[in-house]
């Protein structure tokens, strides 16, 4: 069975940052860190959680 | 445990019960649980430092700040007052999970109105409608000088309009009409007003009070309100997504709403210029992010011309500048 990870894509104008995290909590943390550091702004957790996509987890081997 | 032998039951009795396992594991019911878990009280906030800060800032700063806070005071009362059509429609659509969640939504909007009422009473010393109305910045006084965009009062015009439309559809009872009107109302309320137009205003207040190193209770209140708003917005966009998935033609309703009030999103808001030292570009760029996010949550395609217009530096008219 393929392990599933969570992908979030930033939609700030001119930004194409994507992150893949092992679970919802770390995806939210990573997205909020990106918005704060790259755009001096904030994103609410529901707004991140609701648009997370399921992707195959990266091969750690 | 209950008995394992199931007797046939009267369907009329079964219909008296609404909870299902699927519902309580679903995203809307989880928002209800989170709202209950994250509850906060205005009475727990201490306004003493804010009152001291109010007495030491300059008159120009007071005017700039009041321009924002009084608009929120009116806006939160209005959104409390205008939510009923959504509850009535959820009942008509047999969405008990939406009603359960909306019970917290309505209480939170009332609490947000209470927060601004208390802040103005205890910090500024104003509460009666005649007192606060003097500081309300009336929009529509300034329009796009090139005449390309019309600026309208989305909060006090669009919400009652789409609310009335939704109530009429609900009373009429035709499911497709209720769904279509629900999408239009939610697009105006949750996606446009809460989800795009107001988001920069929260950051303006937080950035301003941090820059002034003042008004800790106001900043804390805004952060608490934002946590609630995240659930409100994503409830609305999730409901729209479900309905649009059922009938893709409902997507047109969302674009129609955003198009009708395009000028309000494309222009700057008055407090962006009323508070000196703010990075105006940041708030325009942010509107694009929130607009794209709302479209993504609803599963619809963003209007690229709207995005281009928000980002166009030649379109820099300010929405509304006159008080009282």
In this structure, the dihedral spanned by the alpha carbons of residues B169, B299, B319 and B284, taken in order and rounded to 10 degrees, is 170
B280 lies within 8 A of chain A by CB: no
- pLDDT score recorded for residue B274: 63
pLDDT 10s per residue in chain B (324 long)?
Answer: 555 677 889 999 999 999 999 999 999 999 999 999 999 999 999 999 999 999 999 998 898 899 889 999 999 999 999 999 999 999 999 999 999 999 999 999 999 999 999 999 999 999 999 999 998 877 655 556 677 787 788 888 999 999 999 999 999 999 999 999 999 999 999 999 999 999 988 988 998 899 999 999 999 999 999 999 999 999 999 999 999 999 999 999 999 999 999 988 888 766 666 666 777 788 889 999 999 999 999 999 999 999 999 998 877 666 554 443
Mutation test of the interface with chain A: which of B289, B292, B300, B310, choosing the one with the most A Cβ atoms within 10 A? B289
- pLDDT score recorded for residue B223: 95
- pLDDT score recorded for residue B140: 52
Contacts of A42 in chain B (CB under 8 A): 203
Residues 198-257 of B with CB under 8 A from A: 203, 226-227, 229-231, 233-234, 237-238
- pLDDT score recorded for residue B147: 72
Task: With CA atoms as reference, report the closest residue to B151 among B291, B324, B315, B323.
Answer: B315
CA atoms within 13 A on the CB side of B187: 30
What are the residue ranges spanned by the domains of chain A?
8-56
Structure tokens at B108: 């939170």
Domain B50-323 in this protein, CATH class: mainly alpha
Give backbone dihedrals phi and psi of B31, rounded to 5 degrees, phi first. Answer: -65, -40
Q: Which of B238, B285, B297 sits opposite A13 (nearest CB)?
A: B285
ipTM (interface pTM): 0.91
With b for 16 or more beta-carbon neighbours within 10 A and e for fewer, the B141-151 pattern comes to ebbbeeeebeb
- Give the count of Cβ contacts less than 8 A between chain A and B: 52
User: Strand order of the sheet with strand A4-9?
Assistant: A18-21, A4-9, A53-56
Average pLDDT over residues A36-52: 94
- pLDDT score recorded for residue B151: 78
What are the residue ranges spanned by the domains of chain B?
50-323
> How many other CB atoms are there within 10 angstroms of residue B222's CB atom?
23
Between chains, do A44 and B293 touch, taking CB under 8 Å as contact? no
**Residue A58, min C-alpha distance to chain B (Å):** 24
pTM for the complete prediction? 0.92
B296 lies within 8 A of chain A by CB: yes
**Residue B199, min C-alpha distance to chain A (Å):** 10
**Residue A56, min C-alpha distance to chain B (Å):** 21
DSSP-derived 3-state class of residue B138: strand
**Residue A40, min C-alpha distance to chain B (Å):** 8
- pLDDT score recorded for residue A33: 98
- As a whole number of angstroms, the distance between CA B188 and CA B258 comes to 8
A60 lies within 8 A of chain B by CB: no
- pLDDT score recorded for residue B192: 96
Tens of pLDDT along A20-33? 999 999 999 999 99
Q: Please report, for residues B181, B253, B304, the alpha-carbon distance to residue B244 in angstroms, rounded to integers and kept in the order given.
A: 12, 10, 20
A51 lies within 8 A of chain B by CB: yes
């Amino acid at each position: 069975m393929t392990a599933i990870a969570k992908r979030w894509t930033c939609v700030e104008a001119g930004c194409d940052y994507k992150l893949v995290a092992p679970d919802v909590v770390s995806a939210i943390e990573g997205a909020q860190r990106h918005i704060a550091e790259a755009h001096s702004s904030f994103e609410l957790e529901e707004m991140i959680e609701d648009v997370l996509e399921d992707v195959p987890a990266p091969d750690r081997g | 445990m209950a008995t394992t032998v199931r007797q046939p039951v009267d369907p009329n009795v079964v219909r008296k019960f609404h909870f299902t396992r699927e519902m309580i594991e679903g995203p809307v019911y989880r928002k209800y649980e989170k709202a209950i878990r994250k509850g906060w009280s205005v009475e727990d906030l201490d306004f003493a430092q804010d009152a001291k800060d109010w007495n030491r800032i300059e008159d120009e700063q007071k005017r700039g700040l009041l321009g924002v806070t009084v608009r929120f005071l009116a806006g939160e009362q209005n959104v409390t007052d205008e939510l009923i059509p959504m509850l009535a429609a959820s009942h008509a659509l047999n969405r008990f999970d939406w009603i359960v969640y909306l019970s917290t939504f309505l209480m939170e909007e009332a609490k947000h109105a209470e927060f601004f009422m208390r802040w103005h009473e205890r910090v500024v010393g104003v509460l009666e409608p005649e007192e606060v109305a003097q500081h309300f910045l009336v929009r529509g006084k300034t329009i796009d000088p090139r005449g390309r965009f019309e600026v309208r009062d989305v909060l006090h015009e669009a919400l009652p309009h789409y609310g009335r439309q939704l109530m009429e559809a609900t009373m009429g009872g035709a499911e497709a009409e209720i769904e279509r009107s629900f999408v239009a109302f939610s697009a105006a309320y949750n996606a446009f007003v809460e989800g795009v137009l107001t988001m920069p205003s929260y950051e303006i207040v937080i950035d301003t009070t941090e820059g002034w190193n003042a008004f800790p209770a106001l900043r804390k209140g805004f952060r608490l309100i934002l946590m609630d708003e995240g659930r409100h917005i994503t409830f609305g966009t999730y409901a729209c997504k479900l309905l649009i998935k059922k009938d893709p033609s409902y997507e047109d309703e969302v674009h129609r709403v955003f198009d009708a009030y395009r000028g309000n999103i494309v222009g700057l808001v008055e407090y962006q210029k009323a508070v000196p030292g703010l990075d105006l570009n940041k708030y325009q760029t942010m509107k694009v992010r929130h607009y794209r996010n709302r479209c993504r949550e609803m599963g619809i395609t963003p209007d690229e011309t709207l995005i281009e217009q928000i980002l166009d530096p030649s379109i820099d008219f300010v929405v509304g500048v006159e008080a009282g």
